[in-house]
Amino acid sequence: MNESDLARARALVTEAARIVAFSGAGLSAESGVATFRGATRDSDASAPLWTRFDPARLASPEGFATDPETVAEWYAERRRSVQAARPNPAHRALASDGRIVNVTQNVDDLLHRAGASHIVQVHGTLTFDRCHRGCGYRTPVDMADPPGLRRCPQCPGRLRPDVVWFGETLPPDVWEEAVDACAACDLMLVVGTSAEVYPAAGLIDIARAAGAAIVVVNTEAGGAAGTADLELIGPAGEILPTITDG
Ligand code: BJW
Ligand code: ZN
């Protein structure tokens, strides 16, 4: 790790008044939660999800309509894996600085369990189910013993995880909160995301247009956001504790 880049990042963090940490699956990778994209390794349980599974089949309304049992089983497995995971030093670093608004694409609850106070989950959460028919029913899920496919108790619809699938719009109130935070920050830490999925990746452009400095933390060079002010290449769990005040 380049010491002068780390020192520059530390200075940006120290000087910033409002910080957004825009995170993705790489934030939870060191906790053992699989990412979606990235260099393919063995076909073990930590290899990126989209190298082992078809997103159109498992993370889209069309996939759920075609084979809801398979989708429910896949989410039960992922919920068990998140439940077994523990927050890592990167989660704790982001949780420990009260200036940081955590705008995350992650659907796990590891930032919550690390004690972060301000979390905006733009792709929803695995910890709740909601009615796929849209009657408004929403209920917490036992992550240690996740449910299989089940009916909505309020209407003829089926329950599904309270996450955002491909082709679905992001919850408008959550999206608005994310946009407002990004438009008002003077530093954005872009942590562990490929920044390939829109509209979420557009939050980086919103922060940049507002004049914020952009610092990317990623294990891969060029892994996110072409034009960062500073790119720190390495594991988030090693880098973030050294550049934050926590
Ligand atoms: C580390 C590390 C370590 C590893 N330390 N770093 C324009 C063109 C074509 C299509 C579209 C378009 N605009 C929109 C779309 C459609 C689509 C989209 O963006 N597709 C792209 C893939 C092209 N977007 C949507 O459908 C969205 N809705 C929408 O646009 O609605 C309006 C609309 C409707 C219809 C048509 C058009 C518009 C919704 C997107 C929902 C995404 N959902 C998922 C699944 C959530 C539920 C679940 O988890 O099951 O969200 S997909 C998946 O990707 C998940 C993530 O939140 C998201 C982002 O992934 P993330 O977090 O960046 O992870 P990775 O794996 O990609 O990257 C990990 C990174 O970490 C890598 O860079 C590693 O190097 C790094 N890393 N270890 C630091 N230790
Ligand atoms: Zn319902």
Alpha-carbon span 129 to 137, nearest angstrom: 8
**193 within ligand 1 shell (Cβ under 6 A):** yes
Q: Which atom of ligand 1 is nearest to the CA of 224?
A: 73
pTM for the whole thing?
0.96
**183 within ligand 1 shell (Cβ under 6 A):** no
Ligand 2 is an ion; its neighbours by CB within 5 Å are: 131, 133, 135, 137, 152, 154-155, 157
Q: Which atom of ligand 1 is nearest to the CA of 223?
A: 73
**121 within ligand 1 shell (Cβ under 6 A):** no
Residue 228: how many CB atoms within 10 A of its CB? 19
Specify whether the CB–CB gap between 200 and 105 falls below 8 A: yes
- Tell me which ligand sits closest to the C-alpha of residue 225: 1
pLDDT (tens place) for every residue of the chain, 246 residues total: 788 999 999 999 999 999 999 999 999 999 999 999 876 555 577 789 999 888 889 999 999 999 999 999 999 999 999 999 999 999 999 999 999 999 999 999 999 999 999 999 999 999 999 999 999 999 999 999 999 999 999 999 999 999 999 999 999 999 999 999 999 999 999 999 999 999 999 999 999 999 999 999 999 998 665 679 999 999 999 999 999 976
- Has 132 been annotated as catalytic? no
Residue with the smallest CA separation from ligand 1 atom 31 is: 169
Q: Which atom of ligand 1 is nearest to the CA of 50?
A: 66
